[in-house]
Amino acid sequence: MKLHIYPHGMKEDNAYYDPDRGALRFGYTFANRRAVGMNQPGGIIYTSLSHDVVVHETAHALLDGMRAKFMLPSNGDVDAFHEGFADLVAVFQRFQYRDLVEKAIKQSADLDSGLLTDIMRQWGQATGEDDDSPRKALRSAVVAAGGPEQPVSKEFFYRHGKEAHDLGAILVAAVFDAFRWIYSRKTAALRAVGRRNGEPPSAELVDLLTGEAVRLARQFLDIIIRAVDYCPPVDLTFGEYLRALEGLAFDKLVHHREPGQMSAVAERRRRADELGRFVTRPEHLEHFGLARPVDRPGLHIEPPVVESIRTIRRIGPDDSLTFDLVGEVTQRRKVGRGRWFYGGATVIIDATGLVRYSIAKSVMSKRRQDRFTKHLAAKPALYSRLFEEDQPRTGALLRDLHAPRRAAAATSRKRGGHRAGARRSRGTRAAASAADTRG
């Protein structure tokens, strides 16, 4: 499937990925009268010229290709994860520009320079509400003063009910704090040797610190992407994603490389058929979050569907080469108000055909269904509609989430309900332990 890109997609203070059209749509707008920095009030702001915006929206598209059901916000973490994941990719991708990292380290060897942590700076400085607060980046990977090991203010703790970007910012800050902590530990000796009576760091020290930051950021980018393979295919929570990250800790790190060639369509279909037959054996259903299909009054459970299956090639620290298959199997059943409720599993199979992992969400879970119902009750009609449609049209979701606060607030007033639009979060500093760890 082709990804269509519209660099001047609409005259709108917005940019978003549209999964219904398979398109990235970048808006353009005009800087308001309080624009600062290098922005001229009244000047045109093209979101398609922002590195962070382009990477963020592309990350939405790539994540949708890996996990299509992550576009269905069955709990508050799902759309927040989409936003947080896209911001993380944008932040760590920036570290691949060595000259930029070197300049930032000259400002701060702790990696808290705005050159590295500010997200969508121009958009934030040039647009937004006309208030008296200073213009800043749209969001940031870290804003609270202090090192990554210092206590976190309660206002920045994980809480249900936060707006998607605000909740996603907690995930971003938690991962970036871990990155800063590991970088600090790895470079402590270098910085101690290179410290000279409060003088600026030498060019040689800056070069060494820059190289370490670039390498570590590349590893983190691999890890946060690979962790998706170890997450359930539906109804993701932050806790499940963080557990997947823990399984990819540095002492267990295996660098991920995609195979050079994709299998033929017939071979992928054969693998999908084999996986489908295996997981739907009566004695296996429960292990993969599935149930026997039923179609009778009061109970409708569709047959399971193999959403995708692909090969991953992994090169270990000892240069050993291993191959795995990663498959997604989903299933849905009708629940109250004619809504579809989803379950299934991510299945990782080794080269011998043995199942290494099954990360499952039961389609029959009463606890998840109760949480799902409660979540939708607090959301606007757009959210419920996604679970009522046989073929959910998710294109409006990201457009609504990415809408500016003033437009979203007006939409909320018209609905008379909860605001779904994005509040301009500036990120927080947070600890991974503050995230939800429920399955």
Q: What is the pLDDT of residue 405?
A: 56
How long, in residues, is the chain? 439
Q: What is the pLDDT of residue 422?
A: 33
Q: What is the pLDDT of residue 202?
A: 87
Instruction: Write the pLDDT tens digit of every residue in 211-224.
Output: 999 999 999 999 99
What is the pTM assigned to this prediction? 0.85
Q: What is the pLDDT of residue 329?
A: 97
For residue 238, give the amino acid letter.
Answer: F
- pLDDT tens, per residue, the chain with 439 residues: 789 999 999 999 899 999 999 999 999 999 888 888 888 888 999 999 999 999 999 999 999 999 999 999 999 999 999 999 999 999 999 999 999 999 999 988 889 898 999 998 888 888 765 555 556 788 888 866 566 567 777 777 888 888 899 899 999 999 999 999 999 999 998 888 776 666 778 889 999 999 999 999 999 999 999 899 999 999 999 999 988 887 544 333 333 334 445 667 888 888 899 999 999 999 999 999 999 999 999 999 999 999 998 887 776 666 777 788 899 999 999 999 999 999 999 999 887 888 989 999 999 999 999 999 999 999 999 999 999 999 999 988 999 888 875 444 443 333 333 322 333 333 333 333 333 333 3
Local structure of 331: helix, strand or coil = strand
Q: Which residues pair with 349 in a beta bridge?
A: 325, 355
Instruction: Write the pLDDT tens digit of every residue in 150-180.
Output: 777 777 788 888 889 989 999 999 999 999 9
Query: Which H or E run includes 161?
Result: none
Would you state the structure tokens that stand for residue 322, as one six-digit string? 């291993």
Q: What is the pLDDT of residue 382?
A: 92
| Residue whose tokens read 């008379």 | 416
Question: For 302, which DSSP code?
Answer: P
Q: What is the pLDDT of residue 267?
A: 82
Q: What is the dihedral of CA 166, 168, 172, 174, to 10 degrees?
A: 80
Phi-psi label, residue 12: left if phi above 0, alpha if psi -120 to 50, beta otherwise? beta
Strand residue runs (E) in 335-438: 340-350, 355-361
How far lies 4's CA from each of 17, 21, 288, 341, 375, in Å? 10, 8, 35, 31, 33
From the list 315, 309, 313, 301, the residue with the least C-alpha distance to 347 is 309
Contact status, residue 232 vs residue 346, Cβ threshold 8 Å:
yes
Calculate helix-pair angle for 238-246, 76-94, nearest 10 degrees. Answer: 40
Burial track 76-87 (b if 16+ CB lie within 10 A, e otherwise): bbbbbbbbbbbb
Three-class DSSP labels, 201-270: CCHHHHHHHHHHHHHHHHHHHHHHHHHHHHCCCCCCCHHHHHHHHHCCCHHHCCEEECCCCCCCHHHHHH
Local structure of 293: helix, strand or coil = coil
For residue 253, give the amino acid letter.
Answer: L
Q: What is the pLDDT of residue 112?
A: 87
